[in-house]
């Protein structure tokens, strides 16, 4: 009997139904199957082929659509609302980044060197700041007055280091410089004993304005004493609490006033010294610029230089006292690793009762060098005055300064302790810089190299 059309299932023949038919017969023939199984299989195969073909076409359309969308998004990102032509997009895209990147790189070249130099200068790395400024080759970068000031100060600092690192010898005979000044050989006063073995030298230089006196002091100290010593030099308002005062002959500090603080530790000081009658008091305004060259050469320096009203540093330089005479002064301090063969090291080893610590003493010593050129504005410097300045005054002040540093280290100077506590940020920074210095010096000595 033919099936009734109204009772027939009008849903399309699917694989699911075919699977159900096969499950009913456990893989054998199904007696209840449709009378035309071959026609149904042919229809299903045709339907399946159409489905697969449709899926493939749909996937291909989807893929091409995604590519078009991706290109469109990328084009909008690079060019905004502008319409990018489809042909040869690589050439158009390769030109776009150049137009955007060029001004950025050019701008950085203008800003970075100057900014870096200023940051180094603010961190008291004067010589490194000058090196950055000197490395600028772009003619479009214009240096301002503050940058030229850095370069001038760096030249003074480099001259100081070169002078103090040069070996002072008793070379015999006077020498004449290009400026016409005549300088005698260094006179070495030997190495004094005691807690701080010190080498003192001096020489006289004759110029058209009178005689100039040059003095050098060199002392090795333990590295732990360097931070207290720097605080002695930095706390200028306390100079009068420890500086010696002589009455016969009269030689004493009458005035020490800080006129200006520059940076962390640099200062401008106004100083008046009373000297023996009938000579008038000597006066000078002193610029003290502290800086370090630790990373490059393992050095710390303080440049001292007298200035006048003509230098016009923020109008802070006062007019000279009527009854005093101006003094020209140029010099400074250098703190660096003490060479093992320095003349003072023999005294350090002899004064050390523990012979096993000789090697440690070599590695833990910092050499403090001080050099100064003074023009007292005298046509003739009396021998008695010269002997007093070099053999008495200079040596006494030098060893008292080192003794104050020991007292600070041991907590015996309450005024200095209070000043240091009030400047905790400054001295914390100093300690960190000194740690870097000591680390570099220790590394150099362990490798047998000199910095």
The DSSP string of 137-188 is --TT----HHHHHHHHHHHHHHHHHHHHHSPP----S-EE-TTS-EEPPPEE
The whole-angstrom separation of Cα 318 and Cα 47 is 107
CA angle (332, 326, 378) in 5-degree steps: 95
Per-residue confidence (pLDDT) for residue 52, from 0 to 100: 53
Are residues 157 and 265 part of one domain?
Answer: no
Dihedral over Cα of 334, 336, 339, 343: its sign: positive
Band of residue 86 on the pLDDT scale cut at 50, 70, 90: low
| Residue 70 within a domain | no
Are residues 151 and 291 part of one domain?
Answer: no
On the question of pLDDT at 39 being above 60, the answer is: no
335 - beta bridge partners? 300, 368
Which backbone phi and psi does 270 adopt, to 5 degrees? -110, 120
Are residues 189 and 132 part of one domain?
Answer: no
| Residue 231 within a domain | yes
The token duo for 443 is 């590394």
Mean pLDDT of 116-133: 94
The whole-angstrom separation of Cα 41 and Cα 217 is 113
CB-based contact 198:375 (threshold 8 Å): no
| Residue 288 within a domain | yes
The token duo for 294 is 């630790």
> What are the contacts of 129-135 at 24+ separation with CB within 8 A?
129/154, 130/154, 130/155
The whole-angstrom separation of Cα 266 and Cα 122 is 11
| Residue 377 within a domain | yes
3-state SS assignment for residue 364:
helix
| Residue 112 within a domain | yes
More confident site: 150 or 167: 150
Per-residue confidence (pLDDT) for residue 317, from 0 to 100: 82
The whole-angstrom separation of Cα 227 and Cα 366 is 11
The whole-angstrom separation of Cα 317 and Cα 306 is 11
Pairing status of strand 182-183 against strand 175-176? antiparallel
Are residues 212 and 122 part of one domain?
Answer: no
In this predicted model, what pLDDT tens digit does every residue of 400-438 receive, in sequence order? Answer: 999 999 999 999 999 999 999 999 999 999 999 999 988
| Residue 24 within a domain | no
CB-based contact 408:417 (threshold 8 Å): yes
198 - beta bridge partners? 192
CB-based contact 371:331 (threshold 8 Å): yes
On the question of pLDDT at 1 being above 80, the answer is: no
Are residues 238 and 130 part of one domain?
Answer: no
Type and span of the H or E element at 203: strand 198-207
- Which residue has 């370090």 as its token pair? 292
Are residues 238 and 312 part of one domain?
Answer: yes
Are residues 222 and 152 part of one domain?
Answer: no
Domain extent, residue 310, equals 181-446
Are residues 373 and 264 part of one domain?
Answer: yes
Are residues 325 and 281 part of one domain?
Answer: yes
| Residue 64 within a domain | no
Are residues 240 and 129 part of one domain?
Answer: no
The whole-angstrom separation of Cα 70 and Cα 76 is 10
More confident site: 54 or 310: 310
**First vs last C-alpha separation in the chain:** 114
The token duo for 292 is 């370090």
* Count: domains in the chain: 2
Which of 360, 361, 338, 363 lies closest to 348, judged by CA? 361
Which of 282, 274, 281, 276 lies closest to 382, judged by CA? 276
CA angle (318, 322, 325) in 5-degree steps: 85
Are residues 386 and 275 part of one domain?
Answer: yes
Cα separation values, 210 from 94, 331, 378, 382, 440, Å: 73, 18, 6, 12, 44
246 - beta bridge partners? 251
On the question of pLDDT at 29 being above 50, the answer is: no
Max CA separation in the chain (angstroms): 154
The whole-angstrom separation of Cα 186 and Cα 200 is 10
Out of 64-78, 272-286, 342-356, the most confident range is 272-286
Q: Is the pTM of this model over 0.85?
A: no
Per-residue confidence (pLDDT) for residue 40, from 0 to 100: 53
Per-residue confidence (pLDDT) for residue 375, from 0 to 100: 86
Query: What CATH number did the domain enclosing 301 receive?
Result: 3.30.530.20
Per-residue confidence (pLDDT) for residue 103, from 0 to 100: 39
The token duo for 186 is 């260094």
Are residues 258 and 155 part of one domain?
Answer: no
In this predicted model, what pLDDT tens digit does every residue of 282-331 receive, in sequence order? Answer: 999 999 999 999 999 999 999 999 998 777 666 778 887 888 888 899 99
Q: How many CB atoms lie within 10 A of CB 86?
A: 9
């Amino acid at each position: 009997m033919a099936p009734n059309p109204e009772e027939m299932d009008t849903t399309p023949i699917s694989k699911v139904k075919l699977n159900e038919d096969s499950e009913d017969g456990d893989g054998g023939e199904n007696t209840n199957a449709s009378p035309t199984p071959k026609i149904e299989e042919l229809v299903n195969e045709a339907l399946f082929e159409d489905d697969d073909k449709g899926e493939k076409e749909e996937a291909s359309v989807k893929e091409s659509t995604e590519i078009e969308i991706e290109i469109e998004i990328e084009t909008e990102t690079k060019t905004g609302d502008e319409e990018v032509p489809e042909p040869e997009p690589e050439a158009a895209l390769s030109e776009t980044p150049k137009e955007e990147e060029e001004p950025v790189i050019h701008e950085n070249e203008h800003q970075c060197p100057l900014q870096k130099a200023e940051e180094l200068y603010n961190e008291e790395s004067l010589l490194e700041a000058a090196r950055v400024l000197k490395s600028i080759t772009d003619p479009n970068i214009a240096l301002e007055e503050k940058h030229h000031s850095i370069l001038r100060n760096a030249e003074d600092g480099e001259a100081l280091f070169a002078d103090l690192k040069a070996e002072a010898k008793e070379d015999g005979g006077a020498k004449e410089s290009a400026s016409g000044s005549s300088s005698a050989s260094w006179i070495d006063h030997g190495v004094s004993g005691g807690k701080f073995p010190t080498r003192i030298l001096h020489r006289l230089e004759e110029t058209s304005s009178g005689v100039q006196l040059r003095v050098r002091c060199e002392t090795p100290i333990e590295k732990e004493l360097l931070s207290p010593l720097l605080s002695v030099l930095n706390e200028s308002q306390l100079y009068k609490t420890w500086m010696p005062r002589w009455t016969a002959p009269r030689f004493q500090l009458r005035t020490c006033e800080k006129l200006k603080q520059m940076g962390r530790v640099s200062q401008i000081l106004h100083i008046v010294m009373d000297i023996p009658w009938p000579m008038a008091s000597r006066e000078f305004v002193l610029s003290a610029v502290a800086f370090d060259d630790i990373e490059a050469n393992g050095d710390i320096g303080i440049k001292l230089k007298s200035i006048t009203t003509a230098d016009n540093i923020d109008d802070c330089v006062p007019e000279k006292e009527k009854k005093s005479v101006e003094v020209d002064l140029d010099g400074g301090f250098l703190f660096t690793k003490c060479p093992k063969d320095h003349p003072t090291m023999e005294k350090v080893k002899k004064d050390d009762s523990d012979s096993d610590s000789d090697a440690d003493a070599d590695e833990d010593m910092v050499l403090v060098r001080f050099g100064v050129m003074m023009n007292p504005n005298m046509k003739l410097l009396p021998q008695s005055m010269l002997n007093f300045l070099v053999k008495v005054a200079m040596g006494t002040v030098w060893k008292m300064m080192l003794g104050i540093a020991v007292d600070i280290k041991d907590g015996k100077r309450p005024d200095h302790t209070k000043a240091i506590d009030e400047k905790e940020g400054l001295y914390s920074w100093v300690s960190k810089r000194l740690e870097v210095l000591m680390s570099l010096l220790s590394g150099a000595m362990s490798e047998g190299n000199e910095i």
